[in-house]
Structure 1
Amino acid sequence: MTSIGSKVRLAAPSIDPVVSDYTIGYIQHVSNSTTDSVASQQLDIKAELSFVNDLLVSAGGNPKKVSQLISSLSADLETQLKDNAEKLNLTGDTSKRLLDINLLNSHTRKVNNSMALMGATRDIEHTGRKIETRVDKKKLEKAERKIAKKVAKRDNKFVKYEASKLLNETQDENYDEFFLKINPIDFGSGAGKSKDIKIEDFDLYVGAGQRILSNATLTLSYGRRYGLVGQNGIGKSTLLRALSKRELNVPKHISILHVEQELRGDETTALQSVLDADVWRKQLLFEEKKINDRLNEIESLRNEFHEDSLEVKKLDNESGDLQSHLEEIFEKLEEMESSKAEGRAASILFGLGFSTESHSKPTNSFSGGWRMRLALARALFCKPDLLLLDEPSNMLDVPSITYLANYLQSYPSTVLVVSHDRSFLNDVATDIIHQHSERLDYYRGANFDSFYATKEERMKNAKREYENQMAYRKHLQEFIDKFRYNAAKSSEAQSRIKKLEKLPILEAPEEDKTITFKFPDPEKLSPPILQLQNITFGYSKDNLLLKNVDFDVQLDSRIALVGANGCGKTTLLKILMQQLDPIDGIISKNPRLRIGYFAQHHVDSMDLNLSAVAWMAQKFPGKNDEEYRRHLGSFGITGTLGLQKMELLSGGQKSRVAFAALCMNEPHVLILDEPSNHLDTSGLDALADALDKFKGGVLMVSHDVFVIDKVCNQIWVSEDGIVSKFGGSIFDYKRYILSEADSKGVVKKQ
């Protein structure tokens, strides 16, 4: 057994030295166990070497050579175990005899040297028994990450690498720890390196083996802004999470930040929360203070010793090292413009709708939607090399979306954003990535509109090519079937068989699923339909939310109500629905008027333990199941979807059930509060088309510019308690927002 090291390195020459040394030490440990009277009785050589075999192969060793090594080791160890057992029978149990202390220390040193790289920690559980070993967690985790990369490179695949059975402990990391783990501070080693990202030939899985990408290539050029689009449930968010945790091979010098969920609230103020998000700046400022404190301490200590003393020389050497590191910190802080940080953070908060007074409020005083904005503000403030945004517009109003789009247009690094908001993607994206059918298709230099047109053209071409080939195949096959056994035509038949075999196999192009909505046409009513006159509302007379509002809705109305969050848009809808009573003013409505109301939080009114059919029957009794299913089908809830518990439906599917419910009474007017939330592109198309064809009145509060532009011909703005008609389109309103923000100095300040 003296040549274990050479045997291991010969069988697996390319594996990481950390894994190689660990394997050698482990085999040596098994070998030593054969000489121990107690351990040898429990020793299962086959199981131990099976573990070694799996470890070497997963680390990149040649399976054939590793198998030969294991066979050789197995024979040696079995012989050694047998010899030791026979010797024990002749000499008796020597395990309790006193050993020469020098011999014992020598043996211990040999074992420790072979396993020194692992340090000392804990028992390892693997084959059902415990073996005392020495494992440094950090080194082992590092080795496992290297193994995972080599396995992925060897197989040209990415499979989520599970934690080793050697170490099953997990740590609950806070934001700072996670940020520094993903983005360690770089003092210049990444300077001059490309920040382009190219990850080739990988697979991506989610859940219990469900594959969402197969043999895919992800290419992100630095400074480009990519819109990642695709149907709900296709795996877009999973791809972003894999990137954010570096489970995909993103170069280490590229910093990453992912905005996925709302900020956890605490007593930290909103402004300080944004400043703290830049963990590099926070850490560097902490180190700067720590070094300055130590330099002051060194200056005081120098006075206690003679100028030429050894202690003073040591202190001067330490001071020089600290000064050198302090200069690096100053350069890094200057590079990230640390002195301008507070002004930049305040500007971002203001652009996302936070008032100056709210900057000093604790984060736990904000609602979920505003905490999501805080998370977005923190990401924009950090300016990572790769910014990942998952549906950022869902919690924003039109002014905030407009500000965000404008901000990102001059963002200096790479952006990858998942969104179904067409107008937002048109403003932001320089390229579109379409995720579908387990692959990524690239549309370079395209915003959403040009992507959509190009995709349709590609689909037509692919369909035409497929149909032409199918017709050609059919023509060849008919000739072959007719003349295969005809002596005069046999050579021609063989020629066509060869042509048929050489034809590339084309798959039928996968067309996107289409969804249709249909709102029933109401009967005519005579005006006034629904009217507010001089309405004033507030939760107290000292704090009015709406003042002197005059507003009316007719059967031909197509009105979009826009404005910043918290300005009273939803309140106005509830007054129209007579769910809230105004302090002053008159509400007039036709007594025969029926209203269909879509609430922003419509899920709260649903019994998710029931199926859509059962819930509809409970809420609107009097029809049979077939009628409810037919009605749900007109909103895309087809087949078994209507019979499943609604808790199993996606957010978009629950929204479609809500649309179906509001139409049960055949309303004259639809009042919709954020109807586009949770709908993907096909759902938004269906909604916009159905509203456009609806014969009744429409009043909606929405942040989706595409839906507003397609459906509405009037824009009303709620601002500072006043509700007034805006003289222009939704795009004119966006330009107005930018001009207002520019005049206040919050546009294009990075």
Structure 2
Amino acid sequence: MSNLGLQVRQAAGSIDSVVADYAVGYMQHILHSTEDAVLARQLDITKEVSFIEELLVSAGGDSNKVRQLGEKLQQNIEKQLKDNMSKLEITGDTSKRLLDISLINSKQRELDSSLALLQSTDIEHTGRSIESRVDKKKLQKAEAKIAKKVAKRNNRFVQYEASKLINDQQKDDYDSFFLKVNPIEFGAGAGKSKDIKIDTFDLYVGEGQRILSNASLTLAFGRRYGLVGQNGIGKSTLLRALSRRELDIPKHITILHVEQELRGDDTIALQSVLDADVWRKQLLTEQERIGERVDEIEKLKEEFDEESLEMKKLENEQVDLTDKLEEVHEKLGEIESDKAEARASSILYGLGFSQEAQQRATKSFSGGWRMRLSLARALFCKPDLLLLDEPTNMLDVPSSAYLGDYLQTYPATVLVVSHDRAFLNEVATDIIHQHSERLDYYRGANFDSFYATREERIKNQKREYDNQKAYREHLQTFIDKFRYNAAKSSEAQSRIKKLEKLPVLEAPEEDKQITFRFPDPEKLSPPILQLLDVSFGYDPKNMLLNHVDLDIQMNSRVALVGANGCGKTTLLKVLMGTNSPLDGSVSKNSRLRIGYFAQHHVDGMDLTKNAVEWMSEKYPGKTDEEYRRHLGSFGITGPLALQRMQLLSGGQKSRVAFAALCLTNPHVLIMDEPSNHLDTSGLDALSGALQRFQGGVLMVSHDVTMIKQVCKEIWVSEDGRVYRFDGTIDDYKKYILSKANASGVVKKH
């Protein structure tokens, strides 16, 4: 029964498109059931057709046309059922054969436009739960259109309650979601272009809030795109929409998104990376199942005569399995399955996992290290489109350098959201700037060239806008003066026409300039803060710090770098007095005040309160107006200061923490990863504030640009030692990359 969609529209043209899609999906489900021996015997054709007729009529369809459609559908199902049962008598019942790979192939051919069909309860009919076979992708698009229409009609943001089918995806485990987004296809994508071009789309988030309007996305295969823009502009939402194929990406293009940290369990780190390639895991499992079934068939064949019907059935099945096994072997060769373990180990080592750590259970790692595991899993899978959201936030300088080096030779397309300018300068071949509900492209540009080009573009736009504005005012002055002057009326009319023909230019958009300021403390006499031959370890048999000497003065600008887990944060806690050294001593000026910015500063905030309430409780003594004014100087202006902090973005929470830091008027700032979550304007404001600060600064950071702008000394924490590095941060990056390459573990992929 060809073109079911057209026939449904002819019979019930006025019904909602979502119901029409449901009806078509249900009919396809019935027709497909006739091909399965078990389902076919259970099929009650009259009852199923009657249900479809009732559904279409109740939704507004013409009863006569719907009845005619039902009769035609019933005849077609009965005929197809009869033909299929006849075939089964000859070929045998195939329902007991191995199904995984063959089903994936047949489902993909049959449902070419669908990501996957979910089994869910979405429509209730006379107290009966109906198995839904709706095309999820089409349903999602249809309901998005309905949401936009409702929002436009009411001229306000509304929350549209979508079908339960759409939210089911969130309940899926990693493997099933991976296969829905990236179904295994044998040869289907061979020779096809892997460029992505999506024309004129809108993108919404939350309660009808639009973040992109009439936008176009173009990603050329093999290019590496940096997606930049202010905090809260919707960059992560765009990545999420791409990762779920909510935007129209060809099915033969594989996608993987690094968004959340890995859930910990008893699986060792190396195996968790190997398991991330679901295709490989599924294919290896299928290879094993086919091998077992082939062995079983060989034994069964011994029990039947060569001319018997049972023997023919077994031989037919064996031929099918052999063909499938050949396809599986080809696909395993294509993804280089035999090299998988060595490649996974190399990636993990580059991201800071020692050979010993690679054998530890994932549940034994902290959140930051689990985030690295998620990144390692994505790099291992080598998708055609790799989506990274602030990947350097949880990395130290060595791992960040390794990731940048790795991505420079990545063989597919990368789209990365990052505010780390040095990282983007290394990695990006192009920049996409998201702002004002649109995407602007800067081709062949890293971050520095994008920034310079954009500044020049804004200057030109401002110059053109100012010139036109002056010209408009000149014309309008003449018109106002001589409009009613008989001698000059013709000239006035001519200028009116010129004014009407001028294109309307909008004032160029300029980023809001934010300036942070840390208060200047009174001077202190040295020594200010010293570590003298300090040793420390949580286990005396495994010392993290050995005989460390470090001196912080009022004019110090020190960057402390090194691999995660080498004791950097521990050293900061010893300086703060949180940890007491096992040997040696800490010397402090008696009047010294230290301002400490913790990497996980959010843990110390009561997110149920707004910023003003939280600061007034933690640092009392000022009026609400004074707190608001102080927060405003760090970019937390207007209603943001009175909004519950759990609703603020990561960058906005960081700004609240910086504002709170100032209230103690510190002599020395000790900062653990202060650049995380800040956008470009926030990073510039922080760098400027630290440069102007009249006290000392000790900073743990992976942000190479900030280290270059702020710090005068590089101190390295390595193998229990802390020593001054003789060189710049760029020299240090070269040192760690050469060290990793010399080890023979990290290799170019």
- TM above 0.5: yes
Structure 1's 635 and 699: CA in aligned 2 closer, same or farther, altered over 3 A? same
Map 1:114-263; keep pairs closer than 5 Å.
125=123, 130=126, 137-138=132-133, 141=136, 144=139, 170=168, 172-263=171-262
Structure 1's 451 and 330: CA in aligned 2 closer, same or farther, altered over 3 A? same
1:461-513 deviations in whole A, cap 9, x for unaligned?
Answer: 11111111111111111222222222222222222222222111111111111
Return the alpha-carbon distance in structure 1 between the equivalents of residues 357 and 167 of structure 2: 41
- Indicate conservation of the 8 Å contact 2:532/2:549, yes or no: yes
Q: 2:739 aligned with 1:740, yes or no?
A: yes
**684-693 or 490-499, which deviates more:** 490-499
Amino acid paired to 2:541: D
**527-536 or 627-636, which deviates more:** 627-636
Return the alpha-carbon distance in structure 2 between the equivalents of residues 507 and 250 of structure 1: 34
Give the match's secondary structure for 1:544: coil
Q: 2:66 aligned with 1:51, yes or no?
A: no
Map 1:619-630; keep pairs closer than 5 Å.
619-630=618-629
Return the alpha-carbon distance in structure 1 between the equivalents of residues 286 and 608 of structure 2: 54
Return the alpha-carbon distance in structure 2 between the equivalents of residues 440 and 189 of structure 1: 31
Aligned to 2:476: 477
Structure 1's 49 and 501: CA in aligned 2 closer, same or farther, altered over 3 A? farther
Superposition deviation, residue 601 in structure 1:
2.0
Q: Over aligned residue pairs, what C-alpha RMSD do you find?
A: 3.8
Amino acid paired to 1:257: L
Structure 1's 429 and 23: CA in aligned 2 closer, same or farther, altered over 3 A? closer
Amino acid paired to 2:168: T
- Indicate conservation of the 8 Å contact 2:598/2:671, yes or no: yes
Amino acid paired to 1:170: D
1:100-136 deviations in whole A, cap 9, x for unaligned?
Answer: xxxxx999946977999999x999858xx74989x76
Aligned to 1:571: 570
**478-487 or 108-117, which deviates more:** 108-117
Return the alpha-carbon distance in structure 2 between the equivalents of residues 538 and 277 of structure 1: 35
Gaps of 5+ in 2: 29-52, 82-109, 112-116
**513-522 or 342-351, which deviates more:** 513-522
Aligned to 2:98: none
Aligned to 1:709: 708
Return the alpha-carbon distance in structure 2 between the equivalents of residues 556 and 215 of structure 1: 52
Amino acid paired to 1:138: R
- Indicate conservation of the 8 Å contact 1:522/1:695, yes or no: yes
Superposition deviation, residue 540 in structure 1:
2.7
1:266-325 deviations in whole A, cap 9, x for unaligned?
Answer: 111111110010000001101111111111122222233344544434333322222222
Aligned to 1:681: 680
Q: 2:328 aligned with 1:329, yes or no?
A: yes
Give the match's secondary structure for 2:271: helix
Return the alpha-carbon distance in structure 2 between the equivalents of residues 726 and 535 of structure 1: 19
- Indicate conservation of the 8 Å contact 1:125/1:166, yes or no: no
Structure 1's 683 and 108: CA in aligned 2 closer, same or farther, altered over 3 A? closer
1:63-84 deviations in whole A, cap 9, x for unaligned?
Answer: xxxxxxxxxx48x799x9xxxx
Superposition deviation, residue 24 in structure 1:
13
Structure 1's 287 and 727: CA in aligned 2 closer, same or farther, altered over 3 A? same
Return the alpha-carbon distance in structure 1 between the equivalents of residues 458 and 344 of structure 2: 45
- Indicate conservation of the 8 Å contact 2:160/2:207, yes or no: no
Amino acid paired to 2:133: K
Give the match's secondary structure for 2:518: coil
Map 1:33-48; keep pairs closer than 5 Å.
none
**666-675 or 653-662, which deviates more:** 653-662
- Indicate conservation of the 8 Å contact 2:197/2:218, yes or no: yes
Structure 1's 165 and 49: CA in aligned 2 closer, same or farther, altered over 3 A? farther
Structure 1's 310 and 683: CA in aligned 2 closer, same or farther, altered over 3 A? same
- Indicate conservation of the 8 Å contact 1:8/1:24, yes or no: no
Structure 1's 49 and 421: CA in aligned 2 closer, same or farther, altered over 3 A? same
Aligned to 1:386: 385
- Indicate conservation of the 8 Å contact 1:652/1:678, yes or no: yes
Structure 1's 137 and 430: CA in aligned 2 closer, same or farther, altered over 3 A? same
Aligned to 2:36: none
Superposition deviation, residue 678 in structure 1:
1.9
Give the match's secondary structure for 1:532: strand
- Indicate conservation of the 8 Å contact 2:475/2:495, yes or no: yes
**311-320 or 563-572, which deviates more:** 311-320
Q: 2:531 aligned with 1:536, yes or no?
A: no
Amino acid paired to 2:284: L
Map 1:257-656; keep pairs closer than 5 Å.
257-656=256-655
Return the alpha-carbon distance in structure 2 between the equivalents of residues 713 and 460 of structure 1: 33
Give the match's secondary structure for 2:549: strand
Structure 1's 185 and 537: CA in aligned 2 closer, same or farther, altered over 3 A? same
Structure 1's 429 and 379: CA in aligned 2 closer, same or farther, altered over 3 A? same
Aligned to 2:723: 724
Return the alpha-carbon distance in structure 2 between the equivalents of residues 19 and 472 of structure 1: 56
Amino acid paired to 1:402: A
Amino acid paired to 2:741: D
Name the % identity: 67
1:24-66 deviations in whole A, cap 9, x for unaligned?
Answer: 999xxxxxxxxxxxxxxxxx99x9768347xxxxxxxxxxxxx
Superposition deviation, residue 379 in structure 1:
0.3
**231-240 or 467-476, which deviates more:** 467-476
Amino acid paired to 2:688: D
1:222-247 deviations in whole A, cap 9, x for unaligned?
Answer: 00000101011100010001000100
Amino acid paired to 1:137: S
Return the alpha-carbon distance in structure 1 between the equivalents of residues 211 and 315 of structure 2: 59
Amino acid paired to 1:676: S
Return the alpha-carbon distance in structure 2 between the equivalents of residues 337 and 377 of structure 1: 17
**277-286 or 163-172, which deviates more:** 163-172
- Indicate conservation of the 8 Å contact 1:344/1:749, yes or no: no
Amino acid paired to 2:210: R
Return the alpha-carbon distance in structure 2 between the equivalents of residues 492 and 473 of structure 1: 15
Superposition deviation, residue 364 in structure 1:
1.4
**621-630 or 676-685, which deviates more:** 621-630
Structure 1's 483 and 237: CA in aligned 2 closer, same or farther, altered over 3 A? same
- Indicate conservation of the 8 Å contact 1:347/1:749, yes or no: no
- Indicate conservation of the 8 Å contact 1:125/1:131, yes or no: no
Return the alpha-carbon distance in structure 2 between the equivalents of residues 412 and 166 of structure 1: 38
Give the match's secondary structure for 1:725: strand
**607-616 or 498-507, which deviates more:** 607-616
Return the alpha-carbon distance in structure 1 between the equivalents of residues 276 and 546 of structure 2: 39
Name the TM-score, length of structure 2 as normaliser: 0.83
**287-296 or 375-384, which deviates more:** 287-296
Aligned to 1:102: none
Return the alpha-carbon distance in structure 2 between the equivalents of residues 576 and 122 of structure 1: 57
Return the alpha-carbon distance in structure 1 between the equivalents of residues 246 and 141 of structure 2: 12
Bigger radius of gyration among the two: 1
The count of corresponding residues between Structure 1 and Structure 2 is 676
